[in-house]
Amino acid sequence: MANKHVGFIGLGNMGGGMALRLLERGVQLTVYDRRAEAVDPLRKAGAAAVNSPREVADAADIVFASLPSLDASMAVALGSDGVVHGKAIKVYVETSTLGTTTVAAIDKDLSAAGKGFLGVPVSGGPLRARDGTLSALASGAKPAFDIVRATLDLIATNVFYLSEQADASQIAKLINNHVSSAGRLAVLEGLAMAEKSGIDLKVMNDVFNTSSGRNYTTTHKVPAAILTGSFAYNGPLTIALKDEALLLEEAARRGIPLWIAPHVLETFREAAAAGYRDKDGMRVYQYMHSQTCEPSDDIPK
């Protein structure tokens, strides 16, 4: 039910937007983040702030999490002060992209403690988190999904239920993220080549958007992050590094060949080594633009 008491743990670019959206829709909300500056906007908007994940789970029937790393997700779910010890929680909803191994471990231990669990990675970026138009990819026990569905509808325009298997949505999300990353890198290297060839970036992006090169990067990310010079849209490159590495691990575990993904990960690693690891992923454009090579008359046949 949408009017359940909801908890939210992790109030960064994505989590903070989703939590504010729930508050604006009249949801009773209890929140936690280690950073006071992340909690303050939620407290001012009417959320109750507590001091640990366990306290969130002592107060709320449904607890959402949006966390930056696998270690953080494991600690929040199963640590000594984790939600697994909460007294009120009925369903724990992990919206992060973690891979199947981590999700399966969380699901197993929460189930053993009598708590419901759903893996619900979300897609769409911070702006869509804030306005409630995300896509949510849910998997886990159907009764748990039924409890949470009305709340998911407040933060996501598109809610997909994939499977009773809690980790299934991780595979779908990693594939989606890979397709997004591959398209983004193609756009960025195309723009770098265009600029070095004397073509105006806006004109080149307009060509993409009125032609077959159109994708989410050309319609949203380039205008917001590159044409403005802010290079702020994606979150840190570390997230893309994590997700692409997880995709390759999942594919290798299943014996599934991938062709483009290894090159995407290699490019991310090169940019990270060049000093862009903790910078917004859109700054990979600056890395690409900084690279030079000797011009050649040899044209590949």
Rounded average pLDDT over 149-166: 98
How much is the pLDDT for 59?
Answer: 98
Name the token pair of 278: 């903790």
The pLDDT of residue 16 is above 80: yes
Position 296 in a domain? no
32's CB contacts (< 8 A; 6+ apart) are 7, 8, 9, 39, 49, 50, 51, 52, 53, 55, 56
Q: Are residues 44 and 138 in the same domain?
A: yes
Q: How far is CA 70 from CA 23, 59, 129, 137, in A?
A: 27, 24, 21, 18
Q: In sequence order, what are the residues at sequence separation of 6 or more whose Cβ sits closer than 8 angstroms to the Cβ of residue 89?
A: 7, 57, 58, 60, 61, 62, 63, 83, 115
For residues 198 and 153, state if they share a domain: no
Residue 76 in domain: yes
pLDDT of residue 1: 43
Within this chain, do residues 258 and 126 fall inside the same structural domain, yes or no? no
| 251 & 128 share domain | no
End-to-end Cα distance, the chain:
61
Structural domain includes residue 49: yes
What is the rounded average pLDDT of the residues 155-184?
Answer: 97
CATH number, domain with residue 103:
3.40.50.720
One domain, residues 35 and 128:
yes
Reading phi first (left if > 0) and then psi (alpha if -120 to 50, else beta), residue 46 is in left
Same-domain status, 126 and 236: no
Domain end residue (candidates: 166, 187, 206): 166
Helix (H, G, I), strand (E, B) or coil at 2: coil
Q: What pLDDT does residue 234 have?
A: 72
Residue 242 lies in a domain: yes
What average pLDDT score do residues 231-260 get? 95
Share of the chain above pLDDT 70, in %: 97
Residue 295 within any structural domain of the chain: no
- Name residue 128's beta-bridge partners: none
d(CA 90, CA 111): 11
From 100, 135, 166, the end of a domain falls on 166
Residues 145 and 41 grouped into a single domain = yes
Does pLDDT of 4 surpass 90? no
| Whether residue 149 is found in the same domain as residue 39 | yes
Taking a C-beta distance cutoff of 8 angstroms, is the pair 187, 222 a contact? yes
Supply the range of the domain harboring residue 144.
6-166
Number of domains in the chain: 2
pTM of the model: 0.91
